[in-house]
Amino acid sequence: MRKRNLSHPFFIGGLSAFAGALVALTWHTDPAPFPEARVPSVPPPAVRSEPISPLPEPPLEPIAKVALGDRLFHDPRLSSDGTVACAGCHDLGKGGTDRRARSLGVGGAVGSINAPTVFNAAFNFAQFWDGRAATLEAQVAGPLHDPAEMASNWTRVVASLQADPDYRRGFAAVYPDGITPDNVSDAIASFERTLVTPDAPFDRYLRGDREAIPPDAVEGYARFKSFGCTSCHQGVNVGGNLFQRFGAMGDYFADRGNVTRADLGRFNVTGREADRHVFKVPSLRNVAVTAPYFHDGSAQTLDEAVAVMGRYQLGREIEAEDRRLIVAFLRTLTGHYRGVPVQ
C-alpha cells in the first residue's frame, strides 16, 4: 500500500510552520495504490530553487487526434438532449470554467459542485474534487453519465456520432476500430492535454526576469511562502498533487451550515471517516479569472478566499495588507493560451 500526503482543495490554503508539521502526521493510506495521472511533459528547471516551477509549453499531440477531441469537447450532441457540451462548464473563454458556483446541465439541472478549470488539468495527479478519476480519459465518463450534467450514456453517444459521416471519417483516420467509448475519451483527453497556459508573468520571474512582476507581487509571494501556503500549493501546477481536508484549523462546514453530499469530498469515494471533507487541492494557475472559489463556489473574490483560507487552514486572521499582497502575487499566475492571456 502507498501513503500519500493530504493537501486542502482551496486555491490559497497552506499551513503555518506548526500546521505544516501537523500535516506530516496526518497522512492517509488508501486501500489500494492510486493510479498515476499522466501529465503532458516535465517542466524545464527553474533558474532558482523555488517550491513552484514554471509551466512548460504545450505537449506535441497528433494533430488529427487533437482536432477530433476539440470538436468533441465543443459538441453538445454528447448530452442526452443535445444542449450541453464539455465546453459549457469548461469555457475556454472564461478561464476554463463557467464562473458559476454550480454548473447547469440538461434541462437546467443544477449541479452539486463548482466546476474546476480544465486548463492545465493534465498536470493534476487526479481529476474531480474528490479525485475519483486517475486520468483525463477516465474523467470523461463522469459528466457524460451524470443526470445533472449531460445525462447520457455511451450507447447514445456512439450512435449519435456514428450517424455523422464527418465523425466516421475523422475517427477512421485516427483509430483503426473507429468510434468507441475508449476512443472518444482518448480524443477528448488528447485535446485537453494541449490546454496548457504557459508564460505567466510569474513563470518569467522564476526563469530570471526580475522585472516580470511588480514589487507588491514579489512581497506577496514571500508572504505566501512564509505563511506556509506552499505546503499545499507547489510544483508546476501550484497545486493539484495532494489531498487535504477543508478545515484543518477550524470547522468550516459547521460554520457554513447546510452540509451536502458534495461537501463530504473524498469520503464519497473511499467511505472512510478520515476522508470526510477531504478534497484534491486545485491548481492556482489562472486563479484570478476563475471565480467563484472553493468546491462550493462560496467565495466571490480572491480577497475573500484568502481570508477564509487563513481562518480555516491557518487558524489566523490574515490582515488586509497581507491579503492585498498575496492577491497581487496570485494575479501573476495568469498564463497564455494560444498566445493570448487567459481571460
3-class secondary structure per residue, 94-110: CCCECCCCCCECHHHCE
- How far apart CA 21 and CA 143 sit, in angstroms, is 37
Q: Concatenated DSSP letters for 242-304?
A: -EEETTSSS-HHHHH----GGGGBTHHHH--GGGTTEEEPPP-TTGGGS-SBTTTT-B-SHHH
- How far apart CA 311 and CA 323 sit, in angstroms, is 12
Q: Which three-class secondary structure state does DSSP give residue 6?
A: strand
Considering 36, 50, 149, 211, which one is annotated as catalytic? 149
Please list the helix, strand and coil fractions of the chain in percent, rounded to the nearest 5, in that order.
40, 10, 50
Written as nine digits, the cell of 304 is 475573500
Active site residue 149: yes
Question: Which residues are part of the catalytic machinery?
Answer: 149
